[in-house]
A and B are shown apart, each in its own frame.
Chain A
């Protein structure tokens, strides 16, 4: 027996995140590590739990192994529930054959049976690609108050950036009158955050209609939302103000990490009222050696620092040897930085070794962008990696041959 839930969340976590290059070679984007001890999806999952939404379907498709293992039974987020909890929903083979998720709407369509088990009044559609803290229950209250068919969360973006987003044009009451996907001349600065609340019955009807439309690409932004608007459904924009960051590129991932630093960080992880939960790796406390210097940085369990770390984020188990310099960089799990190596404006993925005296990136921001070094690599001692390069095994082979 399934008990009724007022609202079920569907978290779209199938994104490949190809602009994160080697970081998403083996993992889906929502499973990319973030903020020393989290993964990107932790923020959305924690938002769900903190908003008292305890039934979450996680739709996976691309490289799901790490993500599936990470989510497990949902225990770290208190989502191991008798009724509800977290459920990983991969594409499956049905009576009429197997099918990948063809688009965001199709992914939800294929899992209508999951949603219907809980007979919810509302469905919250989320994506696992953003860093933010948001109380979805307030958005649901707004949805109910406006008696809306659908509510879309929007955030004010600078006008010059508005053409990169889906833009909602609304009347004074917040009712959406027009939706434009990446408009060249935006009429408003209300950008869709990809967070939707639908009345379930209505959503089901539109999903079925969309599925029967051979011209549709089965996408919420491209098909479902325009179709609803065209039919004159009452749709509202819910304005969110606060930190919200898409970490889909190396640059934005780096920037989001820098936003965690400083005496008054732009994005505060130290919020006892809105804890971010993550799967805990069993590691000892971190040790800062006698000659170490650590400034304006975030460091977590298992690290051992003997060198200089400035404006940086160290993930679990990172070792920084004597005489090594880490500046404005992000070093992921269990990477080792040997004596005298220096790392500037870089992201180093996990389990990599930066050999003694190697130099990654340039001391000054060069305008060439962030340097990225993939996982499980050994950068030989003394190697110089120029700023902005993307280092993976193939790159390294070529470099060593030359």
Chain B
């Protein structure tokens, strides 16, 4: 059995324009030292998938920089390994259909590559699936049930608000999908939601893409899943570990803070036996706490130097916290530097931000104060 992976790197960029103005959703920094794509990549690598295509769209320089040759995920391979699939534009196409919006359009745009896959199965994953899932188990489930498509779902408690951001999946007792309902306005209670991770038979996927090109289909949910549910064997695979996806900056902030508030979340994401989360190696020195450092309930990456007070915060690699400075409920990205006697509360500071001596900045949990990449305050 051989499996090919596909990761969509741009699909949800517009959810957090603050963080994706200069990068793909896939390269959004998360949890001290990772980029969102690390979770999807690690899940695949930990399940023995060693041939992975990453479909890109625009803004993918930061992603290419992060992935490099792929060796930090053990994906620098002679055979297989990681491949970037940029949009396929010819000189004469007038760029028609060149830029996609949906998952199915993305697959259509890289049909040049999909049509040449020869693995038995294909795993499709979005890039903002923050979880540690055993894809092997899911693939085995797919094979055992002779499914066409298997979709990972998680049972969650939906509210009037959250249902609008989710795809709700109905299935019968055997696990066969009966209906797929995207972003409904008013569904509450415990329901299965789509985690945007699929296992598809390779030949079937190829036929879906050709079919979509022929018929001008654009939506995987509507034109494939909903349309085919009655005839085809589409199945759910239940996952019940930690899962987060990012719908807005506030969502980003909330999910980041979840890692601090409950050790179970950290354990389910990071401390799963035989399934580590890989990321780009930066060779930072270990974190250094100086004499006046006071740190509590925080996640700290290597390369940080802390002279001040840090509470309920997430510090990425290379962050400096100056003397007399307090960082509370905040997320500081790679190489952000605070001077002395700074006070930060509910701040999300992008890479290389400099906050000079004495500045006082505060957002609120419901509206974190965002500082754009490289800004000096």
Chain B binder among A94-102, A237-245, A247-255, A281-289: A281-289
Contact B298 A295 (CB under 8 A): no
Mask: chain B, 8-36; 1 = CB below 8 Å from A; 0 = not? 00000000000000000000000111000
Say whether B289 contacts A286, CB under 8 Å: no
* Contact (Cβ within 8 A) B290 A275: no
- Interface readout for B265-287 with A: 1 if CB under 8 Å, 0 if not? 01001110000111001010111
CB–CB A263/B290 < 8 A: yes
Query: Contact flags (1/0) for B292-334 with A, using CB distance below 8 Å?
Result: 0111111111110101001000100000000000000000000
Please indicate the chain A residues that have their CB under 8 angstroms from the CB of B278 in the complex. 282
Task: Give the Cβ gap from B377 to chain A, nearest Cβ, in Å.
Answer: 23
B71 lies within 8 A of chain A by Cβ:
yes
A295 to B293, CA, bound (A): 6
A57 at interface by CB-CB < 8 Å: no
Whether A289 and B32, one on each chain, are in contact in the complex, defined by CB atoms closer than 8 angstroms, is no
**Knowing A287-B298, A294-B289 touch, does A270 contact B271 (C-beta < 8 A)?**
no
Q: Which of A36, A37, A282, A291 has the most CB of B within 10 A?
A: A282
B30 to chain A, nearest CB (A): 11
Complex Cα–Cα for A241 and B122 (A)? 59
Q: Please measure, in the bound complex, the distance between the C-alpha atom of A309 and the C-alpha atom of B278, giving whole angstroms.
A: 28
Bound CA–CA A295/B289 (angstroms):
6
- How near does chain B come to A35, taking the closest CB pair, in angstroms? 7
Interface size bucket, B side? Answer: 35 or more
Task: Identify whether the interface residues of A are mostly helix, strand, loop, or mixed.
Answer: loop
CA distance A134 to B194 in the complex (A): 55
Does B291 sit within 8 A of A, measured CB to CB? yes
A300 touches B286 (CB 8 A): yes
The 21 listed contacts between A and B (C-beta, < 8 Å) are: A35-B286, A37-B285, A269-B286, A269-B288, A270-B285, A270-B305, A280-B281, A282-B276, A284-B266, A284-B269, A284-B271, A285-B31, A285-B32, A285-B301, A288-B299, A298-B288, A299-B286, A299-B287, A299-B289, A301-B33, A301-B286
Q: What's the minimum C-beta distance from A141 to chain B, rounded to whole angstroms?
A: 27
How far in angstroms is the closest Cβ of chain B from A370?
21
Question: What range describes how many residues of A lie at the interface?
Answer: 35 or more
Question: In the assembled complex, how far is the CB of residue A80 from the closest CB belonging to chain B, in whole angstroms?
Answer: 9
Q: Is A278 an interface residue (CB 8 A)?
A: yes
- Contacts of A285 on B, CB cut-off 8 Å? 31-33, 299-302, 314
Check B295–A278 contact: CB distance below 8 A.
no
Please judge, given known A-B contacts A75-B71, A290-B297, whether A298 and B290 are in contact too, CB under 8 Å. Answer: no
Tell me whether A284 and B270 are in contact (CB under 8 A).
yes
Asked whether any CB of chain B lies closer than 8 Å to the CB of A158, the reply is: no
Q: Quick one: which of A37, A292, A301 contacts B295, CB cutoff 8 A?
A: A292
Contacts of B295 in A (CB 8 A): 288, 292, 294
| Complex CA distance for A164 and B111, rounded to whole angstroms | 71
Asked whether B289 lies within 8 Å of A298 as measured between CB atoms, the reply is: yes
CB of A344 closer than 8 Å to a CB of B: no
Contacts of A277 in B (CB 8 A): 283
Distance in Å from the Cβ of B194 to the closest Cβ of chain A? Answer: 27
Q: A262-B290, A289-B297, A294-B295 known; A301 and B271 CB under 8 Å?
A: no
Q: Which residue of B lies closest to A269 (CB)?
A: B285
Write the nearest CB–CB distance from B284 to chain A, whole angstroms: 9
User: Would you call A296 an interface residue if the criterion is a C-beta within 8 Å of the partner chain's C-beta atoms?
Assistant: yes
A365 CB, nearest partner CB in chain B, Å: 19
> What is the chain B residue whose CB lies nearest that of A287?
B299
A132 smallest CB distance to B (angstroms): 16
The reply to whether A290 and B289 contact each other, CB–CB distance below 8 Å, is no
Contacts known (A35-B286, A276-B285); A288 close to B291, Cβ less than 8 A: no
Chain A nearest CB from B198 CB (Å) reads 26
User: Which of chain A's residues have a CB closer than 8 A to the CB of B290?
Assistant: 262-263, 296
Which residues of B lie under 8 Å from residue A290 when comparing CB positions? 296-297
A68 is an interface residue with CB less than 8 A from chain B: no
A399 close to chain B: CB less than 8 A: no
A297 sits at the interface (CB 8 A) = yes
CB distance from B326 to the nearest CB of A (A): 15
Tell me, rounded to whole Å, the shortest Cβ–Cβ distance linking B273 to chain A: 13
- Within the complex, what minimum Cβ distance (angstroms) separates A131 from chain B? 13
Query: Which 4 pairs from chain A and chain B are nearest by CB?
Result: A285-B32, A284-B270, A36-B286, A269-B285
Look across to chain B and name the residue whose beta carbon is closest to the beta carbon of A277.
B283
**Closest Cβ–Cβ distance, residue A321 to chain B (whole Å):** 13
Contacting pair B277 A282 (CB below 8 A): yes
Query: For residue A261, which residue of chain B has the nearest CB?
Result: B288
B357–chain A nearest beta-carbon distance, Å: 17
Within the complex, the shortest CB–CB distance from B82 to chain A, in Å, comes to: 16
Contact of A294 among B276, B293, B303 (CB under 8 A): B293
CA distance A53 to B303 in the complex (A): 26
CB-defined contacts of A286 to chain B, threshold 8 Å = 287, 299-301
CA distance A275 to B302 in the complex (A): 14
Q: How far is the CA of A275 from the CA of B281 in the complex (A)?
A: 13
Least CB distance from B5 to A in Å reads 19
